[in-house]
Protein backbone atom coordinates (compact mmCIF):
# COMPACT_ATOMS: atom_id res chain seq x y z
CA UNK A 1 0.00 0.00 0.00
CA UNK A 2 1.30 3.39 -0.97
CA UNK A 3 0.60 5.67 1.92
CA UNK A 4 0.58 9.36 1.19
CA UNK A 5 3.08 9.86 4.00
CA UNK A 6 5.58 7.74 2.11
CA UNK A 7 5.57 10.12 -0.81
CA UNK A 8 8.18 12.82 -0.62
CA UNK A 9 8.86 15.31 -3.27
CA UNK A 10 11.71 17.71 -2.98
CA UNK A 11 13.27 19.22 0.06
CA UNK A 12 11.38 19.87 3.25
CA UNK A 13 14.20 22.06 4.53
CA UNK A 14 14.46 25.68 3.70
CA UNK A 15 16.22 26.44 0.50
CA UNK A 16 17.67 29.69 -0.70
CA UNK A 17 14.99 31.55 -2.59
CA UNK A 18 15.46 31.28 -6.27
CA UNK A 19 13.01 33.95 -7.24
CA UNK A 20 12.22 37.34 -5.93
CA UNK A 21 8.72 36.52 -4.81
CA UNK A 22 7.59 33.30 -3.30
CA UNK A 23 4.27 32.79 -5.10
CA UNK A 24 4.28 34.67 -8.36
CA UNK A 25 6.96 32.91 -10.34
CA UNK A 26 8.15 33.37 -13.88
CA UNK A 27 5.31 32.54 -16.28
CA UNK A 28 5.44 29.02 -17.69
CA UNK A 29 3.43 27.76 -20.62
CA UNK A 30 0.21 26.21 -19.46
CA UNK A 31 -0.13 22.88 -21.24
CA UNK A 32 -3.15 21.50 -19.42
CA UNK A 33 -5.85 24.09 -19.64
CA UNK A 34 -8.73 22.09 -18.16
CA UNK A 35 -7.13 21.95 -14.73
CA UNK A 36 -6.59 24.76 -12.27
CA UNK A 37 -4.73 23.59 -9.17
CA UNK A 38 -4.52 24.98 -5.71
CA UNK A 39 -2.10 23.45 -3.23
CA UNK A 40 -3.10 23.59 0.40
CA UNK A 41 -0.44 24.93 2.71
CA UNK A 42 -1.95 23.44 5.87
CA UNK A 43 0.24 20.63 7.24
CA UNK A 44 2.52 21.01 4.23
CA UNK A 45 4.34 24.20 5.02
CA UNK A 46 5.25 27.23 2.93
CA UNK A 47 8.55 26.00 1.53
CA UNK A 48 7.33 22.67 0.35
CA UNK A 49 4.22 24.25 -1.08
CA UNK A 50 6.28 26.79 -3.02
CA UNK A 51 8.51 24.03 -4.31
CA UNK A 52 5.54 21.92 -5.48
CA UNK A 53 3.81 24.90 -7.07
CA UNK A 54 6.92 25.75 -9.00
CA UNK A 55 7.48 22.18 -10.09
CA UNK A 56 3.88 21.80 -11.27
CA UNK A 57 4.08 25.06 -13.20
CA UNK A 58 7.29 24.00 -14.87
CA UNK A 59 5.52 20.81 -15.97
CA UNK A 60 2.81 22.89 -17.63
CA UNK A 61 0.14 22.92 -14.93
CA UNK A 62 -1.80 26.02 -14.02
CA UNK A 63 -1.42 26.60 -10.28
CA UNK A 64 -3.15 29.44 -8.45
CA UNK A 65 -1.64 31.27 -5.50
CA UNK A 66 -5.02 31.94 -3.98
CA UNK A 67 -8.11 29.83 -3.82
CA UNK A 68 -10.57 31.24 -6.35
CA UNK A 69 -13.65 30.11 -8.23
CA UNK A 70 -11.51 29.06 -11.16
CA UNK A 71 -9.77 26.37 -9.10
CA UNK A 72 -10.81 22.86 -10.14
CA UNK A 73 -8.43 20.73 -8.06
CA UNK A 74 -7.31 21.20 -4.46
CA UNK A 75 -4.25 19.16 -3.54
CA UNK A 76 -3.47 18.49 0.11
CA UNK A 77 -0.91 16.51 2.06
CA UNK A 78 -1.44 14.74 5.38
CA UNK A 79 -5.04 15.94 5.41
CA UNK A 80 -8.18 13.81 5.29
CA UNK A 81 -11.19 14.82 3.23
CA UNK A 82 -12.90 16.15 6.33
CA UNK A 83 -9.79 18.19 7.26
CA UNK A 84 -9.89 19.90 3.90
CA UNK A 85 -13.62 20.51 4.04
CA UNK A 86 -13.27 21.94 7.54
CA UNK A 87 -10.57 24.26 6.28
CA UNK A 88 -12.74 25.33 3.35
CA UNK A 89 -15.60 26.07 5.71
CA UNK A 90 -13.33 28.15 7.91
CA UNK A 91 -12.37 30.17 4.83
CA UNK A 92 -16.09 30.55 4.23
CA UNK A 93 -15.70 28.83 0.94
CA UNK A 94 -18.45 26.59 -0.26
CA UNK A 95 -16.87 23.73 -2.12
CA UNK A 96 -18.81 23.20 -5.31
CA UNK A 97 -19.56 19.63 -6.27
CA UNK A 98 -17.21 20.01 -9.26
CA UNK A 99 -14.20 20.71 -7.05
CA UNK A 100 -11.84 17.76 -6.72
CA UNK A 101 -10.12 17.27 -3.38
CA UNK A 102 -7.00 15.23 -3.94
CA UNK A 103 -4.17 13.76 -2.02
CA UNK A 104 -0.59 14.74 -2.79
CA UNK A 105 -0.09 11.25 -4.23
CA UNK A 106 -2.09 12.33 -7.27
CA UNK A 107 0.17 15.33 -7.87
CA UNK A 108 3.27 13.20 -7.36
CA UNK A 109 2.06 10.78 -10.00
CA UNK A 110 1.24 13.66 -12.34
CA UNK A 111 4.73 15.07 -11.87
CA UNK A 112 6.26 11.71 -12.60
CA UNK A 113 4.09 11.26 -15.71
CA UNK A 114 4.64 14.85 -16.83
CA UNK A 115 0.89 15.16 -17.42
CA UNK A 116 -2.36 14.84 -15.49
CA UNK A 117 -3.00 11.22 -14.51
CA UNK A 118 -6.44 9.73 -14.07
CA UNK A 119 -7.90 10.40 -10.64
CA UNK A 120 -8.40 7.12 -8.87
CA UNK A 121 -10.29 6.45 -5.68
CA UNK A 122 -7.07 6.28 -3.74
CA UNK A 123 -6.28 9.87 -4.71
CA UNK A 124 -9.65 11.27 -3.77
CA UNK A 125 -10.06 12.73 -0.34
CA UNK A 126 -13.83 12.74 -0.28
CA UNK A 127 -16.30 10.32 -1.62
CA UNK A 128 -18.28 11.97 -4.31
CA UNK A 129 -21.37 10.48 -5.85
CA UNK A 130 -24.27 11.64 -7.96
CA UNK A 131 -26.41 13.95 -5.92
CA UNK A 132 -29.39 11.59 -5.94
CA UNK A 133 -27.32 8.97 -4.18
CA UNK A 134 -27.03 11.26 -1.22
CA UNK A 135 -30.72 12.00 -0.97
CA UNK A 136 -31.35 9.40 1.67
CA UNK A 137 -34.45 10.53 3.50
CA UNK A 138 -33.63 11.34 7.09
CA UNK A 139 -29.92 11.74 6.52
CA UNK A 140 -28.38 15.06 7.40
CA UNK A 141 -26.54 16.70 4.58
CA UNK A 142 -22.93 17.53 5.18
CA UNK A 143 -20.91 20.19 3.39
CA UNK A 144 -21.81 20.54 -0.26
CA UNK A 145 -18.89 18.54 -1.56
CA UNK A 146 -19.29 15.53 0.68
CA UNK A 147 -21.86 13.10 -0.51
CA UNK A 148 -22.83 10.95 2.39
CA UNK A 149 -22.23 7.29 1.82
CA UNK A 150 -25.57 5.55 1.98
CA UNK A 151 -26.28 2.87 4.56
CA UNK A 152 -27.94 0.92 1.72
CA UNK A 153 -25.72 -1.13 -0.61
CA UNK A 154 -28.17 -0.39 -3.46
CA UNK A 155 -27.15 3.27 -3.24
CA UNK A 156 -23.46 2.50 -3.47
CA UNK A 157 -21.35 1.37 -6.39
CA UNK A 158 -19.28 -1.61 -5.35
CA UNK A 159 -16.90 -2.93 -7.97
CA UNK A 160 -14.48 -5.81 -7.47
CA UNK A 161 -11.75 -3.23 -6.98
CA UNK A 162 -11.58 -3.44 -3.20
CA UNK A 163 -9.16 -1.00 -1.57
CA UNK A 164 -9.86 -2.35 1.88
CA UNK A 165 -9.42 -6.08 1.55
CA UNK A 166 -7.35 -6.34 4.73
CA UNK A 167 -10.38 -5.12 6.63
CA UNK A 168 -13.12 -6.82 4.63
CA UNK A 169 -11.40 -10.23 4.78
CA UNK A 170 -11.35 -9.96 8.56
CA UNK A 171 -15.01 -8.90 8.67
CA UNK A 172 -16.01 -11.74 6.35
CA UNK A 173 -14.36 -14.24 8.70
CA UNK A 174 -15.92 -12.68 11.80
CA UNK A 175 -19.37 -12.61 10.12
CA UNK A 176 -19.06 -16.23 9.11
CA UNK A 177 -18.06 -17.23 12.63
CA UNK A 178 -21.15 -15.44 13.96
CA UNK A 179 -23.25 -17.21 11.36
CA UNK A 180 -21.91 -20.56 12.59
CA UNK A 181 -22.74 -19.53 16.15
CA UNK A 182 -26.12 -18.13 15.14
CA UNK A 183 -25.28 -14.67 16.47
CA UNK A 184 -27.48 -12.99 13.91
CA UNK A 185 -27.14 -9.40 15.07
CA UNK A 186 -23.37 -9.43 15.22
CA UNK A 187 -23.18 -11.35 11.92
CA UNK A 188 -25.23 -8.70 10.15
CA UNK A 189 -23.12 -5.92 11.66
CA UNK A 190 -19.92 -7.45 10.29
CA UNK A 191 -21.49 -8.14 6.89
CA UNK A 192 -22.71 -4.55 6.60
CA UNK A 193 -19.33 -3.20 7.66
CA UNK A 194 -17.54 -5.37 5.10
CA UNK A 195 -20.01 -4.30 2.45
CA UNK A 196 -19.60 -0.56 3.03
CA UNK A 197 -15.79 -0.80 3.08
CA UNK A 198 -15.86 -2.70 -0.24
CA UNK A 199 -17.52 0.34 -1.82
CA UNK A 200 -14.93 2.90 -0.69
CA UNK A 201 -12.84 4.44 -3.48
CA UNK A 202 -9.81 4.72 -1.17
CA UNK A 203 -7.97 2.60 1.37
CA UNK A 204 -8.48 3.33 5.05
CA UNK A 205 -5.15 4.36 6.48
CA UNK A 206 -6.09 5.97 9.77
CA UNK A 207 -9.15 6.01 12.01
CA UNK A 208 -9.86 9.50 10.76
CA UNK A 209 -10.73 7.98 7.37
CA UNK A 210 -13.63 6.12 8.96
CA UNK A 211 -15.41 9.33 9.96
CA UNK A 212 -18.77 9.71 8.30
CA UNK A 213 -18.85 6.14 7.02
CA UNK A 214 -22.14 4.47 7.97
CA UNK A 215 -22.57 0.88 9.23
CA UNK A 216 -19.46 1.01 11.43
CA UNK A 217 -20.16 0.41 15.11
CA UNK A 218 -17.82 0.29 18.10
CA UNK A 219 -17.05 -3.37 17.59
CA UNK A 220 -16.17 -3.02 13.91
CA UNK A 221 -14.16 0.15 14.54
CA UNK A 222 -12.21 -1.72 17.17
CA UNK A 223 -11.29 -4.37 14.59
CA UNK A 224 -10.27 -1.67 12.09
CA UNK A 225 -8.08 -0.01 14.71
CA UNK A 226 -6.39 -3.32 15.49
CA UNK A 227 -5.60 -3.89 11.82
CA UNK A 228 -4.25 -0.36 11.37
CA UNK A 229 -1.94 -0.93 14.34
CA UNK A 230 -0.79 -4.51 13.73
CA UNK A 231 -1.44 -5.08 10.03
CA UNK A 232 -3.73 -7.96 10.91
CA UNK A 233 -6.78 -8.66 13.02
CA UNK A 234 -6.17 -10.57 16.24
CA UNK A 235 -9.93 -11.32 16.41
CA UNK A 236 -10.01 -12.86 12.92
CA UNK A 237 -6.80 -14.76 13.64
CA UNK A 238 -8.37 -16.26 16.77
CA UNK A 239 -11.43 -17.32 14.77
CA UNK A 240 -9.27 -19.02 12.13
CA UNK A 241 -7.75 -21.13 14.90
CA UNK A 242 -11.07 -21.88 16.56
CA UNK A 243 -12.10 -25.56 16.56
CA UNK A 244 -15.76 -24.91 15.93
CA UNK A 245 -15.10 -22.43 13.11
CA UNK A 246 -12.60 -24.73 11.41
CA UNK A 247 -14.97 -27.70 11.61
CA UNK A 248 -18.03 -25.78 10.42
CA UNK A 249 -16.05 -24.28 7.56
CA UNK A 250 -14.88 -27.74 6.50
CA UNK A 251 -18.25 -29.49 6.90
CA UNK A 252 -20.27 -26.79 5.11
CA UNK A 253 -17.83 -26.94 2.21
CA UNK A 254 -19.57 -30.21 1.30
CA UNK A 255 -22.48 -29.64 -1.12
CA UNK A 256 -25.71 -30.37 0.79
CA UNK A 257 -24.32 -29.73 4.27
CA UNK A 258 -25.88 -26.80 6.09
CA UNK A 259 -25.55 -25.42 9.59
CA UNK A 260 -27.74 -28.09 11.22
CA UNK A 261 -25.74 -31.02 9.86
CA UNK A 262 -22.44 -29.31 10.62
CA UNK A 263 -23.57 -28.72 14.17
CA UNK A 264 -24.58 -32.37 14.55
CA UNK A 265 -21.27 -33.69 13.26
CA UNK A 266 -19.34 -31.23 15.41
CA UNK A 267 -21.25 -32.33 18.52
CA UNK A 268 -20.54 -35.95 17.66
CA UNK A 269 -16.89 -35.03 18.01
CA UNK A 270 -15.97 -35.23 14.34
CA UNK A 271 -13.30 -32.88 13.05
CA UNK A 272 -12.39 -34.27 9.61
CA UNK A 273 -14.36 -35.38 6.56
CA UNK A 274 -12.76 -38.82 6.46
CA UNK A 275 -14.01 -39.56 9.98
CA UNK A 276 -17.52 -38.68 8.85
CA UNK A 277 -17.33 -40.63 5.60
CA UNK A 278 -16.20 -43.77 7.42
CA UNK A 279 -18.99 -43.68 10.03
CA UNK A 280 -21.35 -46.32 8.63
CA UNK A 281 -24.16 -45.38 11.02
CA UNK A 282 -24.52 -41.86 9.54
CA UNK A 283 -27.23 -41.37 6.94
CA UNK A 284 -26.46 -38.98 4.10
CA UNK A 285 -28.90 -37.24 1.76
CA UNK A 286 -28.52 -37.74 -2.01
CA UNK A 287 -27.13 -34.21 -2.14
CA UNK A 288 -24.49 -34.95 0.50
CA UNK A 289 -23.54 -38.22 -1.22
CA UNK A 290 -22.91 -36.27 -4.40
CA UNK A 291 -21.11 -33.64 -2.35
CA UNK A 292 -18.64 -36.21 -1.01
CA UNK A 293 -18.30 -37.99 -4.35
CA UNK A 294 -17.29 -34.85 -6.27
CA UNK A 295 -15.78 -32.99 -3.31
CA UNK A 296 -12.40 -32.12 -4.84
CA UNK A 297 -13.90 -30.74 -8.06
CA UNK A 298 -16.59 -28.78 -6.24
CA UNK A 299 -14.25 -27.07 -3.75
CA UNK A 300 -11.90 -26.01 -6.52
CA UNK A 301 -13.57 -22.89 -7.82
CA UNK A 302 -15.23 -22.58 -11.23
CA UNK A 303 -13.14 -20.43 -13.59
CA UNK A 304 -14.61 -18.04 -16.13
CA UNK A 305 -13.63 -20.20 -19.13
CA UNK A 306 -15.34 -23.13 -17.40
CA UNK A 307 -18.42 -20.98 -16.79
CA UNK A 308 -18.44 -19.99 -20.49
CA UNK A 309 -18.21 -23.64 -21.50
CA UNK A 310 -21.14 -24.50 -19.21
CA UNK A 311 -23.04 -21.58 -20.73
CA UNK A 312 -22.62 -23.10 -24.21
CA UNK A 313 -23.83 -26.44 -22.92
CA UNK A 314 -26.91 -24.85 -21.31
CA UNK A 315 -27.76 -22.69 -24.32
CA UNK A 316 -27.43 -25.59 -26.77
CA UNK A 317 -29.73 -27.79 -24.72
CA UNK A 318 -32.32 -25.11 -23.91
CA UNK A 319 -32.61 -23.85 -27.49
CA UNK A 320 -33.02 -27.40 -28.77
CA UNK A 321 -36.35 -27.58 -26.90
CA UNK A 322 -37.44 -23.91 -26.88
CA UNK A 323 -35.84 -22.08 -29.82
CA UNK A 324 -36.95 -18.61 -28.68
CA UNK A 325 -35.72 -19.03 -25.11
CA UNK A 326 -33.40 -16.48 -23.52
CA UNK A 327 -30.59 -17.81 -21.37
CA UNK A 328 -28.71 -15.37 -19.13
CA UNK A 329 -25.77 -16.12 -16.88
CA UNK A 330 -26.52 -14.53 -13.50
CA UNK A 331 -24.89 -14.67 -10.04
CA UNK A 332 -21.28 -13.72 -9.43
CA UNK A 333 -20.17 -14.20 -13.03
CA UNK A 334 -22.65 -11.56 -14.22
CA UNK A 335 -21.13 -9.24 -11.62
CA UNK A 336 -17.76 -9.75 -13.30
CA UNK A 337 -16.20 -12.19 -10.84
CA UNK A 338 -13.41 -14.32 -12.29
CA UNK A 339 -14.38 -17.43 -10.27
CA UNK A 340 -17.48 -18.79 -8.58
CA UNK A 341 -18.67 -21.67 -6.43
CA UNK A 342 -21.24 -22.47 -9.12
CA UNK A 343 -22.67 -21.08 -12.37
CA UNK A 344 -26.18 -19.58 -12.27
CA UNK A 345 -28.55 -19.18 -15.22
CA UNK A 346 -31.94 -17.57 -15.69
CA UNK A 347 -34.13 -18.91 -18.49
CA UNK A 348 -37.33 -17.48 -19.94
CA UNK A 349 -39.28 -17.66 -23.18
CA UNK A 350 -41.59 -15.02 -24.67
CA UNK A 351 -43.65 -17.55 -26.61
CA UNK A 352 -43.78 -20.69 -24.48
CA UNK A 353 -47.11 -21.90 -23.08
CA UNK A 354 -47.28 -22.60 -19.34
CA UNK A 355 -46.90 -26.28 -20.08
CA UNK A 356 -43.86 -25.82 -22.31
CA UNK A 357 -42.37 -23.56 -19.67
CA UNK A 358 -42.88 -26.18 -16.95
CA UNK A 359 -41.46 -28.97 -19.14
CA UNK A 360 -38.24 -27.29 -20.21
CA UNK A 361 -35.98 -28.04 -17.21
CA UNK A 362 -37.19 -31.67 -17.27
CA UNK A 363 -36.39 -32.01 -20.98
CA UNK A 364 -33.00 -30.37 -20.64
CA UNK A 365 -31.94 -32.49 -17.66
CA UNK A 366 -33.25 -35.69 -19.29
CA UNK A 367 -31.19 -34.84 -22.36
CA UNK A 368 -28.03 -34.47 -20.26
CA UNK A 369 -28.82 -37.64 -18.34
CA UNK A 370 -28.92 -39.58 -21.61
CA UNK A 371 -25.53 -38.16 -22.49
CA UNK A 372 -24.13 -39.14 -19.11
CA UNK A 373 -23.49 -35.51 -18.16
CA UNK A 374 -25.91 -35.29 -15.26
CA UNK A 375 -24.07 -36.14 -12.04
CA UNK A 376 -26.73 -34.76 -9.71
CA UNK A 377 -30.16 -33.25 -10.32
CA UNK A 378 -32.77 -31.79 -8.00
CA UNK A 379 -35.72 -30.07 -9.68
CA UNK A 380 -37.89 -27.86 -7.46
CA UNK A 381 -41.30 -27.22 -8.99
CA UNK A 382 -42.72 -23.71 -9.13
CA UNK A 383 -44.87 -22.38 -6.29
CA UNK A 384 -45.19 -19.03 -8.01
CA UNK A 385 -48.55 -17.26 -7.79
CA UNK A 386 -49.23 -14.34 -10.11
CA UNK A 387 -51.14 -12.13 -7.69
CA UNK A 388 -49.27 -12.85 -4.52
CA UNK A 389 -47.69 -9.83 -2.87
CA UNK A 390 -43.89 -9.86 -2.60
CA UNK A 391 -42.53 -11.39 0.55
CA UNK A 392 -41.75 -9.19 3.55
CA UNK A 393 -38.66 -11.16 4.41
CA UNK A 394 -35.28 -9.73 3.52
CA UNK A 395 -33.89 -13.18 2.69
CA UNK A 396 -37.00 -14.59 1.03
CA UNK A 397 -36.73 -17.74 -1.04
CA UNK A 398 -38.10 -17.46 -4.49
CA UNK A 399 -40.92 -19.49 -5.96
CA UNK A 400 -39.80 -20.06 -9.54
CA UNK A 401 -39.16 -23.52 -10.88
CA UNK A 402 -35.45 -24.26 -10.57
CA UNK A 403 -32.91 -27.01 -10.46
CA UNK A 404 -29.68 -27.53 -8.58
CA UNK A 405 -27.31 -29.61 -10.66
CA UNK A 406 -23.88 -31.08 -10.86
CA UNK A 407 -22.79 -31.35 -14.48
CA UNK A 408 -19.91 -33.23 -15.98
CA UNK A 409 -17.87 -30.74 -17.98
CA UNK A 410 -15.43 -32.33 -20.40
CA UNK A 411 -12.10 -30.56 -20.58
CA UNK A 412 -12.36 -30.47 -24.35
CA UNK A 413 -15.17 -27.97 -23.94
CA UNK A 414 -13.04 -25.55 -21.99
CA UNK A 415 -10.80 -23.11 -23.79
CA UNK A 416 -7.89 -22.91 -21.44
CA UNK A 417 -4.69 -21.00 -21.80
CA UNK A 418 -2.55 -23.73 -20.38
CA UNK A 419 -3.50 -27.34 -20.19
CA UNK A 420 -3.31 -28.60 -16.63
CA UNK A 421 -5.14 -31.90 -17.01
CA UNK A 422 -5.56 -34.05 -13.98
CA UNK A 423 -4.15 -37.42 -14.92
CA UNK A 424 -6.72 -39.96 -15.96
CA UNK A 425 -9.73 -37.69 -15.64
CA UNK A 426 -10.92 -35.74 -18.65
CA UNK A 427 -13.75 -33.86 -16.95
CA UNK A 428 -14.66 -31.71 -13.96
CA UNK A 429 -17.84 -31.74 -11.86
CA UNK A 430 -19.45 -28.29 -11.82
CA UNK A 431 -22.34 -26.96 -9.73
CA UNK A 432 -24.99 -25.35 -11.90
CA UNK A 433 -28.23 -23.58 -10.91
CA UNK A 434 -30.98 -23.12 -13.51
CA UNK A 435 -34.02 -20.95 -12.85
CA UNK A 436 -37.06 -20.78 -15.15
CA UNK A 437 -39.31 -17.74 -14.91
CA UNK A 438 -42.41 -16.40 -16.70
CA UNK A 439 -41.45 -13.87 -19.36
CA UNK A 440 -43.17 -10.90 -17.65
CA UNK A 441 -41.15 -11.52 -14.45
CA UNK A 442 -37.78 -11.76 -16.15
CA UNK A 443 -36.45 -8.37 -14.97
CA UNK A 444 -37.31 -9.11 -11.34
CA UNK A 445 -35.80 -12.58 -11.50
CA UNK A 446 -32.67 -11.24 -13.19
CA UNK A 447 -32.22 -8.54 -10.55
CA UNK A 448 -32.82 -11.07 -7.79
CA UNK A 449 -30.44 -13.72 -9.14
CA UNK A 450 -27.60 -11.36 -9.97
CA UNK A 451 -26.89 -10.61 -6.31
CA UNK A 452 -24.78 -10.04 -4.40
CA UNK A 453 -26.77 -11.28 -1.42
CA UNK A 454 -25.99 -8.09 0.50
CA UNK A 455 -27.05 -5.98 -2.46
CA UNK A 456 -30.37 -7.88 -2.67
CA UNK A 457 -31.01 -7.55 1.06
CA UNK A 458 -30.46 -3.83 0.93
CA UNK A 459 -32.64 -3.40 -2.18
CA UNK A 460 -35.52 -4.98 -0.27
CA UNK A 461 -34.79 -3.07 2.90
CA UNK A 462 -34.63 0.16 0.90
CA UNK A 463 -37.91 -0.59 -0.91
CA UNK A 464 -39.67 -1.31 2.38
CA UNK A 465 -38.29 1.46 4.57
CA UNK A 466 -37.70 4.29 2.13
CA UNK A 467 -40.40 3.74 -0.50
CA UNK A 468 -43.22 1.75 1.18
CA UNK A 469 -42.84 -0.82 -1.57
CA UNK A 470 -42.31 -4.56 -1.48
CA UNK A 471 -39.72 -6.14 -3.71
CA UNK A 472 -38.73 -9.75 -4.23
CA UNK A 473 -37.48 -11.93 -7.09
CA UNK A 474 -40.98 -11.96 -8.66
CA UNK A 475 -42.50 -8.51 -8.41
CA UNK A 476 -42.56 -4.98 -7.02
CA UNK A 477 -45.65 -3.81 -5.15
CA UNK A 478 -46.37 -0.19 -4.26
CA UNK A 479 -48.28 -0.17 -0.97
CA UNK A 480 -49.31 3.48 -1.29
CA UNK A 481 -50.74 3.07 -4.78
CA UNK A 482 -51.86 -0.47 -3.94
CA UNK A 483 -50.63 -1.80 -7.25
CA UNK A 484 -47.93 -3.91 -8.83
CA UNK A 485 -45.29 -1.99 -10.79
CA UNK A 486 -44.29 -3.82 -13.93
CA UNK A 487 -40.86 -3.81 -15.49
CA UNK A 488 -39.20 -5.20 -18.58
CA UNK A 489 -35.68 -4.34 -17.54
CA UNK A 490 -33.63 -3.88 -14.39
CA UNK A 491 -33.32 -0.17 -15.23
CA UNK A 492 -37.10 0.17 -14.91
CA UNK A 493 -37.07 -1.45 -11.48
CA UNK A 494 -34.39 0.95 -10.23
CA UNK A 495 -36.44 3.81 -11.70
CA UNK A 496 -39.61 2.63 -9.92
CA UNK A 497 -37.63 2.63 -6.68
CA UNK A 498 -36.23 6.11 -7.36
CA UNK A 499 -32.69 4.74 -7.41
CA UNK A 500 -29.84 5.54 -9.77
CA UNK A 501 -29.13 2.54 -11.94
CA UNK A 502 -26.32 0.38 -10.58
CA UNK A 503 -24.64 -1.82 -13.17
CA UNK A 504 -24.24 -5.55 -12.37
CA UNK A 505 -20.47 -5.16 -11.90
CA UNK A 506 -21.18 -2.40 -9.35
CA UNK A 507 -23.31 -4.74 -7.22
CA UNK A 508 -20.44 -6.62 -5.54
CA UNK A 509 -21.57 -5.38 -2.16
Could you list the residues that contact ligand CTP (CB under 6 A)?
331-332, 337, 340-342, 344, 397-398, 448-449, 451-453, 456, 473
Per-residue burial over 428-462, b = 16 or more CB atoms within 10 Å of its CB, e = otherwise: bbbbbbbbbbbeebbbbbbbbbbbbebbbbbbbbb
- Rounded to whole angstroms, the Cα distance separating 36 from 11 reads 24
Indicate whether 344 belongs to the interface with Mn ion (CB under 5 A).
yes
Active site includes 478? no
- Rounded to whole angstroms, the Cα distance separating 291 from 170 reads 28
Beta carbon of residue 421, minimum distance to ligand CTP (angstroms, whole number)? 24
448 binds, among Mn ion, ligand CTP, none (CB under 5 to 8 A by kind): ligand CTP
Active site includes 297? no
4 binds, among ligand CTP, Mn ion, none (CB under 5 to 8 A by kind): none
Q: Check 83, 103, 297, 344 and give the catalytic one.
A: 344
Q: According to CB under 5 A, which one of 77, 176, 342, 357 is a site residue for Mn ion?
A: 342
Strands 73-76 and 61-63, by their bridges, are unpaired
Q: Check 433, 440, 478, 500 and give the catalytic one.
A: 433
Contacts of 218 (CB under 8 A, 6+ apart): none
Beta carbon of residue 302, minimum distance to Mn ion (angstroms, whole number)? 8
Which one, of 219, 211, 161, lies nearest residue 190 by Cα? 219
Pick 72 or 159: Cβ nearer Mn ion:
159
- Please classify residue 158 by burial: count the beta carbons closer than 10 Å to its beta carbon, then call 0-12 exposed, 13-18 middle and 19+ buried: buried
Contact (CB, 8 A) for 97 and 127: no
- Among positions 308-337, residues that touch Mn ion (CB under 5 A) are 331-332
Active site includes 378? no
- Among positions 416-435, residues that touch Mn ion (CB under 5 A) are 433
116 binds, among ligand CTP, Mn ion, none (CB under 5 to 8 A by kind): none
398 binds, among Mn ion, ligand CTP, none (CB under 5 to 8 A by kind): ligand CTP
Contact (CB, 8 A) for 138 and 462: no
Q: Check 342, 398, 458, 472 and give the catalytic one.
A: 342
Indicate whether 81 belongs to the interface with Mn ion (CB under 5 A).
no
Contact (CB, 8 A) for 399 and 384: yes
Which one, of 202, 206, 247, 205, lies nearest residue 106 by Cα? 202
Beta carbon of residue 334, minimum distance to ligand CTP (angstroms, whole number)? 8
In the complex, which residue's CB is closest to Mn ion? 331
Which one, of 50, 39, 63, 57, lies nearest residue 10 by Cα? 50
Residues that bind Mn ion (CB under 5 A): 331-332, 340, 342, 344, 433
Catalytic residue annotation: 342, 344, 433
Amino acid sequence: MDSPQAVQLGPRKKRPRQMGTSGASIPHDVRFRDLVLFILEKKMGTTRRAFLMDLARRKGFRVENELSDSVTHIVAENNTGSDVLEWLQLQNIKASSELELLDISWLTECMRAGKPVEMMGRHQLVVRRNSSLSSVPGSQNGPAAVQRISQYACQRRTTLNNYNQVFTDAFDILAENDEFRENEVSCLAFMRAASVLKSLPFPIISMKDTEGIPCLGDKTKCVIEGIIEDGESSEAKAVLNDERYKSFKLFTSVFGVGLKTAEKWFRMGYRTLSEIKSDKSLKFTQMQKAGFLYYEDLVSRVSRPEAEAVSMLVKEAVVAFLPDALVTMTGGFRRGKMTGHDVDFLITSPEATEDEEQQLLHKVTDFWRQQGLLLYCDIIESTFEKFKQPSRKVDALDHFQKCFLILKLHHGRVHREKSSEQEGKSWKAIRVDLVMCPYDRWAFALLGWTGSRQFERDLRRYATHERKMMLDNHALYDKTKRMFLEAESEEEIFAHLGLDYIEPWERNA
